[in-house]
Amino acid sequence: MNLYRGCSHGCIYCDSRSSVYQMNHEFEDIEVKENALDLLKKSLKNKRQKVMIGTGSMADPYMPIEKGLEYTRSALKLIYKYGHGFTCITKSDLILRDIDLLKKINENTKAVVQMTLTTSDEELCRILEPNVCTTKRRAEVLKRLNENNIPTVVWLCPILPFINDNEKNINQILDYCIESDVKGIICFEMGMTLRDGNRQYFYKKLDEDFPGVKEKYITHFKSNYHIPSPNNAKLMKIFNKRTSDAGIMNNASEIFNYLYEFPDKNTTKQSVLF
């Protein structure tokens, strides 16, 4: 489900800016789906088979507008009420506001929080992801979730060529993940994607904050969609070894199967507390 359309986090690399999604308003001007909760309630109420409900692939469900509207929190209440599971992708510490509901869902069925980590450099993070909490704070959120027995998965991406594709960054992010006891880390490879819409915005931001780097992208990658880091092989070797040694899932297919699988709990019950 997508309760919002657009995002105010300001991440300079965001694929959701791409023209393919046909967003006909300013990306930072958030569109709210006013009847989303009614539709969700109707769908969950009539659905016999229990499933995992996911959100966050197109717009972060915990961007600042959620503080006042509480659409995501209301959706969590419905998901718990009707006995389904929940997973989301976010970069925001606002998710801790709803830790009470996440715990109830996880005790009843399953709740998994997915969090994106891109750079361990706090100053660089404020440039790449200017309107959201930094990576260090997200690592604290992961630890807090772990303390409350809520499983977590990290998206290690994007790794931007000539910017954060270095061993120090990857090792520090992996340190955060290991310390937080994450269940899995999704990393297809070290790099990013660019297509019409987000490419123009990304290049504009490169000119503003990383003079000369745009020219490197044009020279090395031309107009390709797939933008692999020149350091991919070396960094993936580090990623695979450290995650395997720590017992962290690193196969994307295995992790997706885990995220989508609804648990078969004999104790699952529909608890109506709201």
pLDDT at 35: 92
Q: SS3 of 85, please?
A: strand
| Residue in the block written with tokens 């507390």 | 273
Residues 40 and 221: their CA atoms lie apart, in Å, by 42
Cα–Cα distance list, 163 to 73, 124, 147, 210, 219 (Å): 36, 9, 33, 9, 16
Mean pLDDT of the chain: 94
Q: Which tokens sit at 274?
A: 């709201």
pLDDT 10s digit of each residue in the chain, 274 long? 889 999 999 999 999 999 888 887 788 899 998 899 999 999 998 888 999 999 998 899 999 999 999 999 999 999 999 999 999 999 999 999 999 999 999 999 999 999 999 999 999 999 999 999 999 999 999 999 999 999 999 999 999 999 999 999 999 999 999 999 999 999 999 999 999 999 999 999 999 999 999 999 999 999 999 999 999 999 999 999 999 999 999 999 999 999 999 997 654 444 433 3
Q: Which tokens sit at 228?
A: 């692999």
pLDDT at 266: 53
pLDDT at 47: 85
Helix ranges, 121-197 (H) = 122-128, 135-147, 167-179
Cβ atoms of residues 212 and 28 within 8 Å: no
Cβ atoms of residues 185 and 252 within 8 Å: no
pLDDT at 264: 72
User: pTM for this structure?
Assistant: 0.93
Angle at 29 between CA 28 and CA 32, to 5 degrees: 120
Residues 177 and 156: their CA atoms lie apart, in Å, by 10
For residue 14, the tally of other CB atoms under 10 A from its CB is 20
Q: Quick one: how far is CA 47 from the chain centroid? A: 27
Cβ atoms of residues 14 and 7 within 8 Å: yes
Cβ atoms of residues 134 and 93 within 8 Å: no
Q: What is the tens place of the pLDDT at every residue in 155-207?
A: 999 999 999 999 999 999 999 999 999 999 999 999 999 999 999 999 999 99
* Structural element, H or E, at residue 152: strand 152-156
pLDDT at 274: 37
Residues 108 and 95: their CA atoms lie apart, in Å, by 19
Q: Which tokens sit at 262?
A: 């609804």
Cβ atoms of residues 252 and 154 within 8 Å: no
pLDDT at 48: 84
